[in-house]
A and B are shown apart, each in its own frame.
Chain A
Amino acid sequence: MPQNEHIELHRKRHGRRLDYEERLRKKQARSGHERAQKAKKLRGIKAKLYNKKRYSEKVEMRKLLKQHEEKEQKSTKEQPDQGAVPAYLLDRQQQTSGTVLSNMIKQKRKEKASKYQVPIPKVKALADAEAFKVVKTGKSRRKGWKRMVTKVTFVGESFTRKPAKFERFIRPMGLRFNKAHVTHPELQTTFCLPIVGVKKNPSSQMYTSLGVITRGTVIEVNVSELGMVTQGGKVVWGKYAQVTNNPENDGCINAVLLL
């Protein structure tokens, strides 16, 4: 024991109080009551946080209880000797109906999911007024033919702006993104991959040509990092992914890889 652990040293030499165990037991018994009182008295944001934490604790407890209960059910069980069973059936164990049913349900669910080709099939149409903001130009600031894009955009590497006088759509630099967080649906891992281009924006063809990225847009990403190889032996370096969040609200582009 280190030299300055005085409490532990005293405990080692003189032991604990005579009624230590009893007091500890009583204190622990009281803890449930105290917790309940605290939960009743809390107000405001502290109450919200506490309730959230308590709920997750309870969820854990319930899961644990369920696990204990589940263990009693076995997926296979011995078939009782009802009449003669042929030799080739002697060692086989019948699957109980419980597991059969659950397997069937899981299979159906998987099929249902794979019916849709794209994770987000339908998307609300994006209005022009929402995507563009009018920028007034001219000497007396009366002309309103310029528009600034308020959504996240992707411009290619070789992009150069048109001369400012002729530029109709302004894509601000702060809203230009080059990388997307792409999730592989089977591996369930997310990679940060560079964007190659915008394939299709479901709202309008104009947005596609401008490179506006909103929820549901199909983009092409550079997957050479993943090291995918085709059947013929060629390296796959570009794949499509669909954007699953609102990038202008979150500050990042989250997408799901379309296999």
Chain B
Amino acid sequence: MTSQYNFKRITVVPTAAELKEVVLSKTQRKTPTVVHRQYSIGRIRAFYARKIKFLQQTLHDKLTQIINEFPKLEEVHPFYSDLMNILYDRDHYKIALGQMNTARHLIDGIAREYVRLMKYGDSLYRCKMLKRAALGRMVKLLRRQKSSFEYLEQVRQHLSRLPSIDPGARTLILCGFPNVGKSSFINNVTRADVEVQPYAFTTKALYVGHLDYKFLRWQVIDTPGILDHPLEDRNTIEMQAVTALAHLKAAVLFVMDVSEQCDRSIEEQISLFESIKPLFVNKPVLIGLNKVDVRRRSDLPPEKEELLKKLEADNIPLIEMSTITKEGVLGLRDAACDQLLVQRVEQKLQAKKHVLGDGVLSKIFVAYPTPRDDRVRAAFIPESAAKKRINTRSGTTRDVIAEHRDERTRKLEREIELEMDDDYILDLKKHYMLRNDDEKYDIIPEVWEGHNISDFVDVDIEKKLAYLLEEERRLIEAGEYEDDLDSDDEETKDLLKTATKIKEKEDMRKLENWEKKVNSTAHHISRSIHRKRERTMSKLEQDLGELGMEVKAKRMKNLQTDSRRTPSAMKIRVGKSRSLSANRSVPRPEQGLPEPEKREAVRKLVKKTQRPMNRNARKGEGDRHIPDLMPKHLFSGKRKMGKTDRR
């Protein structure tokens, strides 16, 4: 949200002369520069027409950028549009932007006209003169808008310096006479550093500060002081304050000076309060009585005390504070924040309630066209539907359903349910259509041995089964399934057996590995190391034992050396956890110089040596500049003028 009101992104508006230079030099650089008299006339025309079009495009783009980047007064929050109106005069602003627009339009027209004329150019000289005329005219238009460019640049600079006030956030606005202590309050409560001076109108613009309260971010807006005269007489500075009060939904803190050091009596201050009261509708208002260190409220004469009591009677809390001694400042802040929070929460709840109550209906909007003549255009409802509607209005649900029923449909289950009420049981098998009706309620499984029974249900299934059995019997009789005549000899039988064993073993290994892989949370070690660790004597014994060989590890002495070495595991450092132990490492300056006095002396020395460097405004060791030793434009390309034998 705040980023929307960040006007710092507007690009710099160049002056008319600068823009002219930039645009013309760009045209000269980015379009081909060489043309000769003996080229074909089409080529010459294209050459010059390209320059005209290039310039037109560049100017069009630049002006479009300017027009689009400036905020439109209609699309911005009314607070900002009002503020901009006060500061920059809405008419002037709109006219300046409008002139940019017309200039752009005219430039397009000129380019079109001269490109058209270029088609009749029959010599290089003529085409060149036409191009010169076109570019000149386009650039002349810019010169006419000189004042607009200057004005827009100033507006842009000022806009980028406006404080970024978010109109939707929680805000407190300070208002009151000049010199009552608004800026001191904001300096106290936030980190803003607003100038505080004894003369009036020290603050000439809106200032923003931020504070934290109850874990939320609050904006505090300091306004220039308002004097008590009618709205028409107000100057620009006061109008800014009034705009802020008018448009921002915030808590208003009216600051009053009880000690009358601001050269205004309490009566005058109260009359100002009354005159700007219309701006305070729907906003929580608090009055801060400032400068109580000079004169307390209890020391006030009774007439003034009465006026203050009248204000209190209107439910406006009066809080005493002193920005110098800082008493009561936080109290005022807390009170204001609390009140504003309450109001905002209420608003949100109200909005929600509205939605929950009506639900969908509150979100539907039916648009009715405005009648343009006296003809009545009523909705068309066919007679039967109208009759039905009339009837249904009278009857109960049962009758309604009965009314709408067609002759062919049977009685609805719903009707039956309504009739039977509690006794109703949903029986979906009631209406099964089977050949044999008493099979309706038979229980049949749906899946058997991994097969879906409904795949196999067939009318002719028995016939097919008989046929298959018959076929099978025939095949067996014919001898299809007997073994081959040339049966395997001993060797091949053994081979087949070992083959099946190997296959089994492989499958087991695969399964083991897969298990390990899935379950392992251990570190991943490289394959060679892994294999090496696997090759233990016990494993060897086991494997060979499975195959049927008897091996005794003890007998294989030369193979035992490896197994004796314990496998190197990853070293895990076990020690105290970080949270328990304090940071033991000493910072480097302390490591070098353990004594504090020496350290102090060293620090002073550092500062002292830095002083002459600062005075001479020279670069030091810390101001490191990394130069570009081989900029591309100096080391590449052809020379425009001069030789290239050295660079």
Contact = CB atoms under 8 A, between A and B. Distances in A.
B642 interface: yes
A251 B617 contact: no
Given A150-B122, A249-B130, A251-B130, A3 B28 contact: no
Contacts of B130: 249-251
Interface centre among B28, B117, B161, B206 (most CB of A within 10 A): B117
A19 B21 CA distance: 37
Most buried by A among B133, B192, B642: B133
Secondary structure of the A contact surface, majority rule: loop
A174 B119 contact: yes
A23 B618 CA distance: 13
Given A174-B116, A249-B129, A2 B134 contact: no
Given A44-B641, A45-B28, A249 B133 contact: yes
A248 B161 contact: no
A248 B133 contact: no
Interface in A137-162: 150
B205 interface: yes
Interface residues of A, number: 25
Nearest to B204: A1
Contacts of A5: 161
Contacts of B116: 174
B367 to A, nearest CB: 47
Interface string B115-145: 0110110100110011001100000000000
Interface string A1-28: 1111100010000000111000100000
Interface in B450-469: none
A167 to B, nearest CB: 18
B183 to A, nearest CB: 11
A185 interface: no
Interface in A23-65: 23, 43-45, 49
Contacts of A17: 617
Interface in A112-160: 133, 150
Instruction: Tell which of B120, B162, B206 has the most Cβ of chain A within 10 Å.
Output: B120
Interface string B567-578: 000000000000
B149 interface: no
B205 A251 contact: no
Interface in A144-203: 150, 172, 174-175
A134 to B, nearest CB: 12
Contacts of B194: 3
Interface in B10-40: 21, 28
Nearest to B113: A251
B114 interface: yes
Interface string B99-119: 000000000000001101101
Interface string B177-204: 0000000000000001111000000001
A144 B3 CA distance: 71
A43 B640 contact: yes
B208 interface: yes
B317 interface: no
B163 interface: yes
B207 interface: yes
A44 B207 CA distance: 52
Contacts of B117: 174-175, 251
A45 to B, nearest CB: 7
Nearest to B162: A2
Given A3-B207, A251-B130, 17 more contacts: A2-B162, A3-B163, A3-B208, A4-B163, A17-B617, A44-B641, A133-B122, A150-B120, A174-B119, A175-B117, A246-B129, A249-B129, A249-B133, A250-B129, A251-B113, A251-B117, A252-B133
Interface of A: 1-5, 9, 17-19, 23, 43-45, 49, 133, 150, 172, 174-175, 246, 248-252
22 contacts: A2-B161, A3-B194, A4-B161, A9-B193, A17-B617, A18-B615, A23-B617, A45-B28, A49-B21, A150-B120, A174-B117, A175-B120, A248-B120, A249-B126, A249-B130, A249-B133, A250-B130, A251-B113, A251-B114, A251-B117, A251-B133, A252-B133
Q: Which 4 interchain pairs have the tightest Cβ spacing?
A: A249-B129, A250-B133, A2-B161, A3-B207
